[in-house]
Amino acid sequence: MNTEKKFRIHISGDKLVLLAANVAVFILFTALNKNFLTVANMINILIAASLVGLVAVGHTYLIIAGQNDLSPGSLAAFSGVLAALLVSKGIPFFAAVLLTIMCGVLVGAFNAFMVNKIRLEAFIATLVTQSIIRGFAFIICGGKPVSVSDKTFVALGKARVFYVPVAVWIMIICIVIFGIILAKTKFGRSIYAIGGNQDAARLAGLNPQRIITICYTMMGVLCSIGGIIFAARMNSGQPSANVNLEFDAITAVILGGVSFVGGVGDTGGTVLGIILIQAFNTGLIMVNVPTFWHYVARGGLLLFALTSDYMRKQKREKDLLAASMKNL
């Protein structure tokens, strides 16, 4: 098999459709607003996608493992407020970041505890966390945004490397690292195994509870990092920020080809999903679509993603049945 054929196979199917959808979105919004396809706006899209991207990476792992998480928006808001509050109290920036990330680890471990030990469904367990953590975000700051004056903290949101914001570089690095782990390591293969069939994975010698705990903990770390970066961009920790963040992240992941029932997907598709949903959101703003219609459009995009996932699932089952019949 030559290189050209390998490349053709690699981008075939779902990813090819997603690439076409991205091209269509860019053409549409460029036709409606000529400033859409400019270097400055492309960078703005990447900046806006940086937080969604980090959370989407975590969701890729969780959804492939057959799990989910509705708490990232609340945890990101809490992390931004906590980091800003710690720095305002005189705690060094890097110590504040470390403490905030440790809180993210604890929240992720708590989600895993509810799923593994109390046996709650992931949606219900993380819905509990979503409410609790959002409440704590308001409690620790008295319901008021916490302004950021620390120069290092502010620089995190403003600094650029090769004209690209640091926040974007952090997202790219996380996507690459977590993508390699998922695709090339034993741990990555274990995630696919428990997402495909947890009982079979257990009989094969894997520890599903341990793997799920690691996935939720990684999500907690990614949400905390994203929340800190968002606070640095806004120059303040805002307890009401990042509402529906998980909505956009889940939509991006499902659009990217990750199966909602687990066991299928990769970070390459997630990247395409992130670009699509952020370009879509930015385009709506640039063509002055009323805010309340954004919810309708984003809901429609999620419906499209879930419908596509259902159709992919049906095709996989049909192909599997055909293959089994052929071997008889």
pLDDT digits (tens, 9 = 90+) for 89-138: 999 999 999 999 999 999 999 999 999 999 999 999 999 999 999 999 99
The per-residue pLDDT for range 66-100, each reduced to its tens digit, is 999 999 999 999 999 999 999 999 999 999 999 99
- The overall average pLDDT reported for the chain is 89
285 vs 325, residue with greater confidence: 285
Q: Which residues contact 86 (CB under 8 A, 6 or more apart)?
A: 95, 96, 99, 100
C-alpha closest to that of 62 among 310, 263, 316, 256: 263
Residue 6 has pLDDT above 50, yes or no: no
Q: What is the pLDDT of residue 308?
A: 79
| SS3 of the chain: helix, strand, coil, percent, to 5 | 75, 0, 20
Q: In 185-264, which ranges are continuous DSSP H helix?
A: 186-196, 198-203, 208-234, 245-255
- Separation between Cα atoms, residue 274 and residue 279, nearest integer Å: 8
Average pLDDT of the residues in 218-243: 94
Residue 4 has pLDDT above 50, yes or no: no
Among 113-122, 200-209, 257-266, which is the least confidently predicted range?
A: 257-266
29: Cα within 13 Å, side-chain hemisphere: 26
Q: Is 5 exposed, middle or buried (0-12, 13-18, 19+ CB in 10 A)?
A: exposed
Encoded tokens for 286: 């640039």
- Separation between Cα atoms, residue 158 and residue 277, nearest integer Å: 24
Encoded tokens for 250: 């889940």
